[in-house]
């Protein structure tokens, strides 16, 4: 609980975590599976608009367009949506909701407020059915990791969760963004299910996020942090927040930074308890959340009582 209070203040360290989570973090640092090495300067003092501007400058939403090898050789320019993500919407959304899947959103009564936004982003297999009162029922976009596409239990090709929404999938590539290596050995095979789905539903906007975009975000998180963060891509939640910062004038993020309702319940839709879901083991979640707190323009009350952070979209800041 004291870590959560520190998060509300935007001042956290791995030392505040349990021995178990600290050890997990160290193991990921030592393993460095994706060979991530931060080469930039550290600007740990940036807050608010300055930090947002840094992010706007360093991070550019990008999807696979089939123009690079090995994808160009495989004819992927024919598989990706004809309309690029940047051109999918005529104008910026006025306000958007990002709904983290944390258990703490249960009993929040936030459903109506969430649905009142122009666009709502959800993650992975998080449902709305049966949870409308707390999470709403509108879904505009959904970010999915490669496990959703690859593991049969998610029934990606048949589940209604993945229909009638804009889909964005991601998978970690090497930090050097070697697309050949990535294509040969993704964490989970997302490429085959992607092509199959594109052929089955060519009208559905479905993109794969470019790994360069993921590592740009990682660079900003590490560049903003004094400690050595997990050398793994940011969580879907952070990816989604940055995506919406580029699509919306104002972004409202729910239960990403935990409210007073926080418990060890991992997801609102599953009876599985693990504090790592909230504070991070594989993902540099603790540091992601600190960075988001540093850009919050919402009230302290909204943060603590509603688990809500408000951010200005990239288009509205003059850098």
Do the strands 248-254 and 308-312 form a parallel or antiparallel pair, or are they unpaired? Answer: antiparallel
CA dihedral over 193, 195, 198, 200, signed as positive or negative: negative
Q: Which of 183, 178, 137 is nearest to 161 (CA)?
A: 137
Cβ neighbourhood burial of 115 (10 Å; 0-12, 13-18, 19+): middle
CB 74 to ligand C5P: min, Å? 29
CB 189 to ligand C5P: min, Å? 19
**Segment contacting ligand C5P (CB under 6 A): 14-22, 95-103, 171-179, 196-204?**
95-103
- In terms of phi and psi (left: phi > 0; alpha: psi -120 to 50; beta: otherwise), the region of 51 is alpha
88-111 burial by CB neighbour count: b if 16+ within 10 A, else e? eeeebbebbbbbbbbbbbbebebb
Q: Which of 253, 277, 286, 292 binds ligand C5P (CB under 6 A)?
A: 277
Note whether 218 binds ligand C5P by CB under 6 A: no
CB 3 to ligand C5P: min, Å? 13
283-294 burial by CB neighbour count: b if 16+ within 10 A, else e? bbbbbbbbbbbb
Residue 259 vs residues 110, 116, 221, 276, 288: alpha-carbon distances, Å: 12, 21, 22, 16, 16
Note whether 100 binds ligand C5P by CB under 6 A: yes
Q: Which of 278, 293, 296, 306 binds ligand C5P (CB under 6 A)?
A: 278
CA dihedral over 174, 179, 181, 182, signed as positive or negative: positive
Run of H or E including 22: helix 19-31
Q: Which of 13, 92, 95, 124 binds ligand C5P (CB under 6 A)?
A: 124
42-75 burial by CB neighbour count: b if 16+ within 10 A, else e? eeeebeeeebbebbbeebebbbbbbeeeebeeee
CB 308 to ligand C5P: min, Å? 13
Q: Which of 80, 266, 281, 309 binds ligand C5P (CB under 6 A)?
A: 266
Binding mask 9-28 for ligand C5P (x = CB under 6 A): --------------------
Q: Which of 25, 63, 101, 293 binds ligand C5P (CB under 6 A)?
A: 101
CB 75 to ligand C5P: min, Å? 31
Binding mask 228-257 for ligand C5P (x = CB under 6 A): -------xxxx-----------------x-
Binding mask 136-175 for ligand C5P (x = CB under 6 A): ----------------------------------------
CB 101 to ligand C5P: min, Å? 4
Nearer to ligand C5P by Cβ, of 160 and 316: the residue is 160
Extract the tokens encoding 188: 């989970």
Contact set with ligand C5P (CB under 6 A): 100-103, 123-124, 235-238, 256, 266-267, 277-278
């Amino acid at each position: 609980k004291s870590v959560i209070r520190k998060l509300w203040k935007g001042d956290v360290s791995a030392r505040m975590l349990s021995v178990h989570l600290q050890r997990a973090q160290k193991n990921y640092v030592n393993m460095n599976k994706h060979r991530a090495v931060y080469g930039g300067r550290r600007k740990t003092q940036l807050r608010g608009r300055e930090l947002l501007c840094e992010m706007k400058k360093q991070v550019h939403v990008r999807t696979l367009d089939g123009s690079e090898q090995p994808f160009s050789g495989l004819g992927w320019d024919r598989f990706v949506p004809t309309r690029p993500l940047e051109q999918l919407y005529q104008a910026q959304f006025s306000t958007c909701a990002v709904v983290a899947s944390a258990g703490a959103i249960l009993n929040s009564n936030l459903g109506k407020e969430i649905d009142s936004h122009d666009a709502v982003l959800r993650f992975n297999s998080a449902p709305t059915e049966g949870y409308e009162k707390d999470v709403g029922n509108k879904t505009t976009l959904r970010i999915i990791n490669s496990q959703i596409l690859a593991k049969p239990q998610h029934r990606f090709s048949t589940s209604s969760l993945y229909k009638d929404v804009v889909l964005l999938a991601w998978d970690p590539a090497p930090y050097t963004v070697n697309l050949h290596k990535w294509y040969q050995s993704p964490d989970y095979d997302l490429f085959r299910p992607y092509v199959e789905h594109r052929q089955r539903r060519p009208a559905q906007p479905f993109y794969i996020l470019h790994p360069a975009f993921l590592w740009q975000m990682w660079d900003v998180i590490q560049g903003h942090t004094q400690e050595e963060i997990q050398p793994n891509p940011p969580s879907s939640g952070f990816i989604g927040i940055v995506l919406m910062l580029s699509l919306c004038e104002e972004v409202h993020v729910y239960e990403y930074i935990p409210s007073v309702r926080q418990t060890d319940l991992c997801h609102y839709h599953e009876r599985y308890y693990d504090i790592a879901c909230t504070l991070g083991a594989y993902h540099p979640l603790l540091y992601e959340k600190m960075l988001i707190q540093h850009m919050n323009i919402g009230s302290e009350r909204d943060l603590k009582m509603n688990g809500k952070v408000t951010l200005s979209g990239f288009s509205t800041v003059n850098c």
